[in-house]
Amino acid sequence: MTAQQQEAIFRRWLDTHLGLMLKVVRGCAKAPQDQEDLFQDVLLHIWSSIPAFRGEAKETTWIYRVAFNTALAWGRGERRRREGHEMFLKLEGPPQVQPSHVDSLAELEIVNRLYAAIRQLPKVDASLALMHLDGLSYQEMAEVLGISENYIGVKLNRIRKQLEEQLKGVTDEL
């Protein structure tokens, strides 16, 4: 694979799957500085992984794998502040929502609380929750994690109950 091809794929993935990468980052890191740091690591690993991509796995499965593996490794005390490095991205807070859009505001609050609840889960459960909320099939989740679909089902039942329980008060308020 040439450098140009690698760059083209990288730019296309950024356009198409940026939301996916950001969800993983927000689900695994809380502070904005940590999110930026982790996001940079995720992008670096995705770039490095592109030459090995043969199109046998779905792009989303591939990116989930790289992003989660990076997030899991990053959580092991390997946080690096890129002092002296050029910052290539700027994460801004959630988009401003007009107060009149009550439904959007309520949904935004739910999403923020969901992120907070996901960050409370054990790391593997958090990754499952993120993929499940994104609507991945059991088979896709099994491919990302490398475990059986049956086990995914068992774990998801528990995770769904946990999230519903944690979000119960919030949804009642809204």
Partner 1 sequence: MNFEDLQKAWQSHAAGAKVLINADVLLKEVRRNQRHFRARIFWRDVREVGLCGLMAWVFLHWAMRDRAWPLYLMVFACIAVGAFMVVDRLIQRKKQPAANDAIKACIEGSLLQVNHQIWLLRNVFWWYLLPLAMGLAIVTGVSVWHSRHVALVVAGGCVYMLLVVLLYWGIYRLNQWAVRKSLEPRQQELEALLASLK
**Does 94 help bind partner 1 (rule: CB under 8 A)?**
yes
Token digits of residue 116 = 């907070």
* Residue 124 lies near partner 1 (rule: CB under 8 A): yes
Tokens of 59: 């792009």
Asked if 6 contacts 52 with a C-beta cutoff of 8 angstroms, the reply is no
- How far is the C-alpha of 12 from the C-alpha of 14, rounded, in Å? 5
68: left (phi over 0), alpha (psi -120 to 50) or beta: alpha
Q: Which of 9, 59, 60, 72 binds partner 1 (CB under 8 A)?
A: 72
Binding of partner 1 at residue 154 (CB under 8 A)?
no
Q: Is 48 in the site for partner 1 (CB under 8 A)?
A: yes
Judged by CB under 8 A, the residue of 9, 34, 60, 115 near partner 1 is 115
The closest alpha carbon to 26, from 107, 89, 119, belongs to: 119
Q: Is 87 helix (H, G, I), strand (E, B) or coil?
A: coil
Q: In the bound complex, what is the minimum distance in angstroms from residue 68's beta carbon to partner 1?
A: 5
Q: Which is nearer to partner 1, 78 or 100 (CB)?
A: 78
| R_g (Cα) of the chain, nearest Å | 17
* Residues forming the site for partner 1 (CB under 8 A): 7, 10-11, 14, 18-19, 22-23, 26, 40, 43-45, 47-49, 52-53, 57, 62, 65-66, 68-70, 72-73, 76-77, 85-95, 107-108, 110-112, 114-115, 122-125, 127, 132-135, 143-147, 160, 163-164, 167-168, 171
